[in-house]
A and B are shown apart, each in its own frame.
Chain A
């Protein structure tokens, strides 16, 4: 065997660079990952943009016909003076007996309830389901996984990027629909942006589960179906907990089991209820009585609920990272 003429130090062999500008290096690496995520999340962007355009168009066609009643104390006493709220150039007509501002709030609450609630979450899960499976099959993964970057950290960076992009598009949805309502009805309904933070926390654990399934099974459809199923089960566990608390009619063992499930799992029902409270939806729609009771009686620990939901997301994202660490790219 022919050997090299010069002995080489260990540091030189591994290409060691002891001095580098760490913050700028981290920034370049993170921005590169997020940029890649942005492109990979084309389905998500398309879905949100389509949804936003539809909602904005709907808002722009809003007209109030008939008597516009200002500052009525008890609306139910004067039903004959109702006007009508027309959407899509009169295609949809709703009886209203509110002023412009209340109508605007009502419209926005409809959007917020669904866009930052179940539809928004499921839409985001559908749009991000392919993020990890397509990454694991792409040339990007080949480049990243043959670099000294920590794979678990890479998954976490991409996960954070996906959460931020989802929140950004949900924010744009809220902003544009609010502006459209304001333009159409000459009033600014907007408290919706406050609910965005809760939407972000609500989405985070399920997105992490989607990424975990994506890294593990490498199938977008399975990642979507799995994360949506987990969301449904968590919703069920969450509501069951408040149901049991409300009726106080269960055995001790059932109570403990339900409580353990509640505290360990993310809490989508709590999150949606918080969004309703923050965005004023509760003044137009009634919530689940159990949740309303928990809120009114002070049994709902908002901070703990948010923190445990975030923690569940963190655990799922860490598991996704560990799975990526052991993943093979054949």
Chain B
């Protein structure tokens, strides 16, 4: 089966202080493969490189070295973004747009036909309980509501690959339950990648976990093993890593 995401020896750095002379390396030699239908949790402490990895997947940035393939093509191919929904970390949505208009426009950008567009927008507004705010301006909404609008924007076009960066941030209990309800409904063909520093929040949802530390992968594999270790009842992390390395023939 063709992977939906494939990162090969990906390295990425940003210009840092002193007018960019000192570079900050965000990712170092990352190899990662995601197959359709998998539900990945990308976790790690702050500045581990989670958001950078997700931005690479949706073509917002390019790798310094290595390659990132999406649906079998390099991420520079914009065509493959048609089936991708992305929620950026701390999504600052354009404040002058009205909620429904923005969601409809995003659906249009993803080439959703007019007949399906109205239905999809209505459904997503209903799901995230945004109907009452449909004609409100984004700038008038609270941070939590804006996050819900961001989620609605990233999901309205029924993407096959969903990439959510810290979706639980700013969400209240209702928002979280709506998100988890949507995640529960995801079908096998839909691939979801979520970056979240707090891994335990996603414990019962993820099928796979990728943990990053200082830009390097420290764990990549099944969620069950990972959480067994995290909860102190299973194989130590090092042993899991060795097992994966053996499996991969490294």
A residues with a Cβ closer than 8 A to B are 1-8, 10, 12-17, 19-21, 24-25, 28-29, 32, 36, 39, 138-140, 142-151, 328-330
User: A32 CB to closest chain B CB, in angstroms?
Assistant: 4
Known: A3-B1, A138-B92. A143 touches B114 (CB 8 A): no
User: A12 CB to closest chain B CB, in angstroms?
Assistant: 6
User: A215 CB to closest chain B CB, in angstroms?
Assistant: 15
User: B136 CB to closest chain A CB, in angstroms?
Assistant: 16
Q: Does B96 contact A (CB under 8 A)?
A: yes
10 further A-B contacts with Cβ under 8 Å, apart from A25-B108, A139-B91, are A13-B2, A14-B79, A16-B83, A25-B113, A32-B101, A139-B94, A143-B94, A143-B153, A147-B81, A148-B81
Comparing B32-40, B195-203, B226-234, the segment that makes contact with chain A is B32-40
Chain B hits for A29, CB < 8 A: 105, 108-109
> In the bound complex, how far is the Cα of B109 from the Cα of A7, in angstroms?
27
Q: Does B112 contact A (CB under 8 A)?
A: yes
Q: Of B86, B101, B111, B189, which one neighbours A8 at CB under 8 angstroms?
A: B189
Whether A329 pairs with B55 at a CB distance below 8 angstroms is yes
Query: What are 30 A-B interface contacts by the 8 Å CB criterion?
Result: A1-B208, A2-B208, A3-B37, A4-B1, A4-B38, A6-B188, A12-B189, A13-B2, A13-B36, A13-B83, A15-B160, A17-B111, A19-B113, A20-B113, A29-B105, A29-B109, A32-B105, A138-B94, A143-B106, A143-B109, A143-B153, A147-B81, A147-B82, A148-B80, A148-B82, A148-B111, A151-B78, A328-B60, A329-B60, A330-B14
> In the bound complex, how far is the Cα of B88 from the Cα of A138, in angstroms?
12
> In the bound complex, how far is the Cα of B38 from the Cα of A25, in angstroms?
32
> In the bound complex, how far is the Cα of B91 from the Cα of A33, in angstroms?
19
Name the interface residues of B130-188: CB closer than 8 Å to any CB of A. 153, 157-161, 188
Name the interface residues of B1-31: CB closer than 8 Å to any CB of A. 1-2, 4, 14
Whether A1 pairs with B72 at a CB distance below 8 angstroms is no
Chain B hits for A32, CB < 8 A: 101, 105, 108-109
B153 closest partner in A (C-beta): A143
User: B250 CB to closest chain A CB, in angstroms?
Assistant: 15
Whether B83 pairs with A14 at a CB distance below 8 angstroms is yes
Chain B hits for A20, CB < 8 A: 111-114
Q: Of A3, A6, A10, which one neighbours B71 at CB under 8 angstroms?
A: A10
B residues with a Cβ closer than 8 A to A are 1-2, 4, 14, 33, 35-38, 55, 58-62, 71-72, 78-84, 86, 88, 91-94, 96-97, 101, 104-106, 108-114, 153, 157-161, 188-189, 207-208, 221-222
> In the bound complex, how far is the Cα of B58 from the Cα of A284, in angstroms?
59
Chain B hits for A15, CB < 8 A: 82-84, 110, 157-160
User: A34 CB to closest chain B CB, in angstroms?
Assistant: 11
> In the bound complex, how far is the Cα of B163 from the Cα of A46, in angstroms?
39
Whether B61 pairs with A328 at a CB distance below 8 angstroms is yes
Chain A hits for B97, CB < 8 A: 36
Known: A8-B160, A139-B92. A146 touches B86 (CB 8 A): yes
The 8 closest A-B pairs by CB, nearest first: A15-B83, A4-B37, A147-B109, A32-B105, A148-B82, A28-B108, A39-B96, A20-B113
> In the bound complex, how far is the Cα of B88 from the Cα of A330, in angstroms?
11
A147 closest partner in B (C-beta): B109
> In the bound complex, how far is the Cα of B6 from the Cα of A320, in angstroms?
31
Whether B4 pairs with A146 at a CB distance below 8 angstroms is no
> In the bound complex, how far is the Cα of B114 from the Cα of A308, in angstroms?
40
> In the bound complex, how far is the Cα of B110 from the Cα of A145, in angstroms?
11
Whether B82 pairs with A14 at a CB distance below 8 angstroms is yes
> In the bound complex, how far is the Cα of B105 from the Cα of A191, in angstroms?
40
User: A41 CB to closest chain B CB, in angstroms?
Assistant: 12
Whether B189 pairs with A36 at a CB distance below 8 angstroms is no
B113 closest partner in A (C-beta): A20
Whether A142 pairs with B109 at a CB distance below 8 angstroms is no
Chain A hits for B88, CB < 8 A: 139, 142
Chain A hits for B96, CB < 8 A: 36, 39
Chain A hits for B207, CB < 8 A: 2
Whether A146 pairs with B58 at a CB distance below 8 angstroms is yes
